Structure 1
Amino acid sequence: MKSCRRLPKLSISVVTYEPDIEILKHSLESLAKSAVYAKSNKIICRLVLILIDNGPGRSWKKSLERVLSIFSGQTEFSKVVLLSGHGNIGYGRGHNLGVNRHIEDFHLVLNPDVIMEKEALYEGIRFLCRYPQIGMVVPSVFDTAENMQYLCKRYPTVLDLALRGFCPPRLQNLFYERLSRHEMRDVINNKPVFDVEIASGCFMLVRRSSFLKAGGFSDKYFMYFEDFDLSLKFGRLTAIAYLPSMKIVHMGGGASRKGWMHIRYFAVSAFKFFNQHGWKFF
């Protein structure tokens, strides 16, 4: 059995902007339970949690400090760090800020509204240790009603994004086969998939060397498509895998359900993405 010094280490970055405090606490509690399970099963020995506060004002900092105080005294995390005062620099840049502060052998990019199963970290890190050719592994994702969310994707077209993000279910049903292919439903099942093209940024477990070689998240994207861009950069260097035994619940919603400002962010970032990586309309 490996001694702790020889076991891999994990860092986790969580970017927040005026989060729901109860959901954040629930998310971090699930992270702590998963950390305990992974450490007790000798898959990792050190975890560092970095919370990046993109919110305005000192009131949010105080709220987040109270949340982190619950976890800073626990043995699950070797270190708990709060970065704040920099303002809203965007999702990707926020994670880059955390990584620049601290990154271990493996790093988890995590949304503040993700609830992970107890075995999630153990399953993901064991998988990365077993397959050194994999630079990123992503989980099976469910919503709060336990419906599976197909967040692994093939390269999108403009039509795919419009149908998936903004059309009512009745219209989406007319394009079911098309959207199913975009969401990789033909290959996503109860077995690992080793050739994911685009992964969701709500939960990305990455190898440090791969993340640093990819240059982290691009500063071009304030919100939306930073995960698409990072996935394509990873794909040029290594491989992205889907691991069904690593399970999470994601409470987030799409841009169309968050109001016009988010729709605008989505459209601006989509334009940047296609300009950078190539336009496909249909």
Structure 2
Amino acid sequence: MDINITGCIVLYDNNAEMLKRVIDSFLNTTLNVKLFLIDNSYSDRLRDIATDNRIDYFHNPSNPGFGTSHNIAILKAIDLKSKYHLILNPDIYFDKEVTNTLFEYGEIHPNIGLMMPLVLYPNGSIQHLCRLLPSPSGLFFRRFFSKFNFVKKIKEKSELKFTGYNKIINVPYLSGCFMFCRTEVLSEIGGFDERFFMYMEDVDLSRRIHKRYNTVFYPNVKIYHNFEKASFKNLKMFKYHIISAIKYFNKWGWIFDIERIKINRQCLKNLK
């Protein structure tokens, strides 16, 4: 049987009820799907949640990182020759029309390598997760001076808030909380860069796909995301974020990232 969509959730001591909600969301479809749970927790207590025969559970207590763990599932998706592969956070939930609609839209637009739907907080407000590629100064000011008016203006532009988040657009950076990818594209570009343990790996993946394909924000369907902003609350997560940011800019360039400038300018030009 051909697999339409494979999916993966990387786990680490997650709330079982929240996890069950995202699993049910993914499986609630008429399409042929397969879900991989890569559990980086010390114990395998979450194994019991994998009761459906469309789920494969893998206990991976070595915890090699977010992107590396997702790559385990990406390789399996490639072996299964699934049409699309969905990278999911464990704090997401959505209705069945989401994957069905994205699948249908992708089938008639073969130039799309990655899609993300409208992402909402549980209260219904918009999460502004369509972004320009970040610069070192932009990340620094947003992190440490977010209450200043000039930083708010930078943030509004970088998050493309002026678009209204109500139309289909080609965006260079889409959030890693829900990445609906064409599997052959992930095979072509090699999945996540495993140098990133956590954070910035979604920027890097989006950027590499965007260089060859359209990376599309598709607001005609919506999902809900319990966005935690862990690196703002946890010193260990903040450290991971800083290390990954350094690795990202070492890879792509700090001041003289000409490609970033060109990509961002083209994106803004297309949105005028």
Are 1:50 and 2:36 counterparts? yes
Residue 19 of structure 2 is aligned to residue 20 of structure 1: no
The residue type paired with residue 260 of structure 1 is: L
**2:63 alignment counterpart:** 88
Letter in 2 for 1:127: Y
Alpha-carbon distance in structure 2 between the residues aligned to 1:56 and 1:28 = 21
Cα displacement string for residues 61-94 of structure 1 (whole angstroms, at most 9, x for unaligned residues)? 1x3221111x33xxxxxx3101113521111011
Q: Deviations over 1:152-206 (max 9, x none)?
A: 11011223223434545x33x443221111001123522110x211111110001
The separation in 2 between residues aligned to 1:24 and 1:167, in whole angstroms, is 34
* Partners of 2:199 and 2:244 within 8 A in 1: yes
* Residues 142 and 151 in structure 2, CA contact (< 8 A), matched pair in contact too: no
In structure 2, the residue matched to 1:113 is 91
Q: 5+ unaligned residues in a row in structure 2: which ranges?
A: 257-272
User: What is the number of equivalent residue pairs in this alignment?
Assistant: 254
Judged with a 3 Å threshold, the aligned counterparts in structure 2 of structure 1 residues 134 and 85 are, in CA distance, closer, same or farther, namely closer
Alignment partner of 1:143 is 2:121: yes
For residue 186 of structure 1, give the secondary structure of its aligned residue in structure 2.
helix
CA distance in 1, matches of 2:110, 2:134: 28
Return structure 1 stretches of 4+ with deviation > 4 angstroms: none
**Structure 2 Cα separation of the partners of residues 132 and 8 of structure 1:** 18
Q: After TM superposition, give the deviation of residue 229 of structure 1 in Å.
A: 0.6
TM-score by length of 2: 0.87
Residues 138, 242 of structure 1: 8 Å contact kept: yes
In the superposition, the TM-score normalised over structure 1's length comes to 0.84
Do the aligned partners of 1:121 and 1:246 also contact (CA within 8 Å) in 2?
Answer: no
1:153 maps to 131
- 8 A contact 2:113–2:213 mirrored in 1: yes
Amino acid at match of 2:110: P
